[in-house]
Amino acid sequence: MDLFGDLRRMNKRQLYYQVLNFAMIVSSALMIWKGLIVITGSESPIVVVLSGSMEPAFHRGDLLFLTNFHDDPIRAGEIVVFKVEGRDIPIVHRVIKVHEKGNGNIKFLTKGDNNEVDDRGLYKEGQNWLEKKDVVGRARGFLPYVGMVTIIMNDYPKFKDI
């Protein structure tokens, strides 16, 4: 496949049309993503489950849809996606304990359904509880195994070049 040869054979109008089409696709995808961020209140409205720690509720490769409305209280039993300082990848786990103080401050503890112990070992050193500021979103729905494409591309970089 000779991509540059194909480009050289196009006249200027065809090339301009192809570049314009590509720009429209990219800008449409970005607008949809930004619109989802605004509608859901989450910095990352769609995430892929990367491990088996939440089985049987969610499996590796499931695509989760998130919302993060700050007015909604966090409750035990909810599945949240959170970021921990020092880790780049968000974690999907269930809230197992919630502590509400009189001043409205809420702290909570999480655990993967398939894990033996709670997540205190995952939090930054000296942190025993999560706060609302750590939450990226709450799981509201999912599509099973749709995110496997992302996992395969990360686990096997050769597939990116196909």
Residues 36 and 54 in one domain: no
CATH number, position 117: 2.10.109.10
Q: Is residue 98 part of a domain?
A: yes
Active-site residue identified among 119, 134, 155, 161: 119
Residues 71 and 140 in one domain: yes
The candidate with the shortest Cα–Cα distance to 45, out of 138, 145, 148, 144, is: 138
The confidence score (pLDDT) of residue 161 equals: 59
Q: pTM for the whole thing? A: 0.80
- Is 93 among the residues known to form the active site? yes
Q: How many domains does the chain have?
A: 2
The confidence score (pLDDT) of residue 102 equals: 78
Task: Tell me the C-alpha to C-alpha distance, in Å, between residue 159 and each of 51, 60, 154.
Answer: 20, 19, 9
Residues 36 and 102 in one domain: no
Rounded Cα distance between 81 and 84, Å, is 10
pLDDT tens-digit readout, 22-54:
999 999 999 999 999 999 999 999 999 999 999
Residues 8 and 86 in one domain: no
The confidence score (pLDDT) of residue 97 equals: 96
Residues 36 and 88 in one domain: no
The confidence score (pLDDT) of residue 1 equals: 56
Active-site residue identified among 42, 53, 62, 134: 53
The confidence score (pLDDT) of residue 144 equals: 95
Domain range enclosing 18: 3-40
The confidence score (pLDDT) of residue 156 equals: 79
Taking CA 58 as the corner, what is the angle to CA 125 and CA 69, rounded to the nearest 5 degrees?
Answer: 65
66's enclosing H/E stretch is strand 63-67
SS3 57: coil
Question: What parts of the chain have a pLDDT lower than 50?
Answer: none
Q: Is residue 72 part of a domain?
A: yes
Active-site residue identified among 42, 62, 93, 134: 93
The confidence score (pLDDT) of residue 108 equals: 96
Q: Is residue 162 part of a domain?
A: no
- Is 53 among the residues known to form the active site? yes
Contact in structure between 133 and 116 (CB atoms under 8 Å): no
The confidence score (pLDDT) of residue 9 equals: 76
Q: Is residue 58 part of a domain?
A: yes
